[in-house]
Amino acid sequence: MIRAGDEDGDRWDRSRRIRWLDMERVQAGRYLVLGAGALGNEAIKDLVLAGARNITLVDMDHVVRSNLNRCVLFREGDSAGKRWKAEVVAERASDLDPEVRVRAVVGRIEQLEDREWKEHDVVLGCLDNIAARLHANAHAYYRGTPYIDGGTDGFAGRVQVIVPPSTPCLQCGLNKSHYKVMEKRYSCTGSEITYFRPSMAAEITTTSIVAAVQVREALKIVCGRKDAVIRNVVHYNGVRNSWDELEMSIEPSCPLHVSHS
Amino acid sequence: MTIKVKVRNAETGSTVDMEMENENTMSEIVQGAAGYWKKEAGAYVLRRGKKLLRGSQTVLEVGLKDDDEVELIPDPEGGYRAPPF
């Protein structure tokens, strides 16, 4: 027996119409989101609306007013109250869906316990610097957990999907220009010196596009569709509205691949 | 052997011819091109067609030949420098 109007009473009815989207797997999946800034806000929003139930969110920072042009889950009062980003996002995620459980971890990703990397099915990197990305890349790779890294800069964006042990990792794609950025930061910071780091331009359209791609790739992974994920990285140019999917190869001297083999 | 390769700036579309030897690496091409266009400090990568070239790969390993083209593209880090576009 069916009942008129049943379709519209099921929160996931429209999602279930996508054949490969396995809602049981989506809801059972364990997602680790690193960063609760612009990308992190969008990623959590998309994950929750997509049906994710178990999310761990890590961020060390508090909300400031300049976050409000691109962070859908922050409010004026959050910046006035200098609230922790992770806690605010976790609270607002429950407004979107009371059944979701977002565990907020206020701290650096380097402080995450080792078990966290293997207890999740997928890691989403919503970070803002290369050093943190390398940390996430190494720990996720070592534990065999897929890592989806997102990055934006103005109207430019990128998403890389790393599925150990078959794909190249983030470190495989680095060159001297990346290390120069890291070196400059490290050489300019210390107990008595503060390195001036200019704020980057960031806006919601590119952020939402990049985070949406990250979440979609995560859904593919938890639904067992690793065959359909990005190989290996996509670069987005928001001015031209163009996407380029680029293949990478494993760097023979990359310590992660050497240690893995 | 010296070859001449065209490097394209993905942000502006402009190109520059660069001479290189078989043992030059992609990292050296990135540095040379970013310096030529006075790019702001930041991370860049090189692509050739649908392939992203690793920094340690040499001209010989990549198989670059005279008049080939590679493209210098920004590698968005999120949170460091001014927007490329």
Cα gap A209→A2, rounded to integer Å = 38
In chain B, where the domains are located? 2-74
CA distance A172 to A253: 9
CA-CA distance, B82 to B31, in Å (whole number)? Answer: 18
Contact B54, B24 (CB under 8 A): no
pLDDT digits (tens, 9 = 90+) for B31-75: 999 999 998 878 999 999 999 999 999 999 999 999 999 999 999
Q: What is the ipTM of this complex?
A: 0.77
Strand order in the sheet with B15-21: B15-21, B2-9, B69-74, B44-48, B51-53
User: Which of B30, B75, B81 is the best mutation test for A, with the most CBs of A within 10 A?
Assistant: B75
Among all residues of chain B, which has the CA nearest to that of A238?
B85
Q: Does A200 touch chain B (CB under 8 A)?
A: yes
According to the CATH classification, is domain B2-74 in 3.10.20.90?
A: yes
Whether residue B84 and residue A154 make contact (CB cut-off 8 A), yes or no, is yes
So what's the architecture of A19-172+201-260 in CATH? 3-Layer(aba) Sandwich (3.40)
- What are the Cα distances from residue A186, in Å, to A47, A112, B8, B18, B44? 34, 21, 31, 32, 19
Average pLDDT score over residue span A108-112: 95
- What pLDDT is recorded for position A105? 98
Residue A187 to residue A108: CA distance in whole angstroms: 20
Write out pLDDT tens, residues A151-193: 998 899 999 999 999 999 999 999 999 988 887 765 544 444 4
Radius of gyration from C-alpha coordinates of chain A = 19
pTM: 0.90
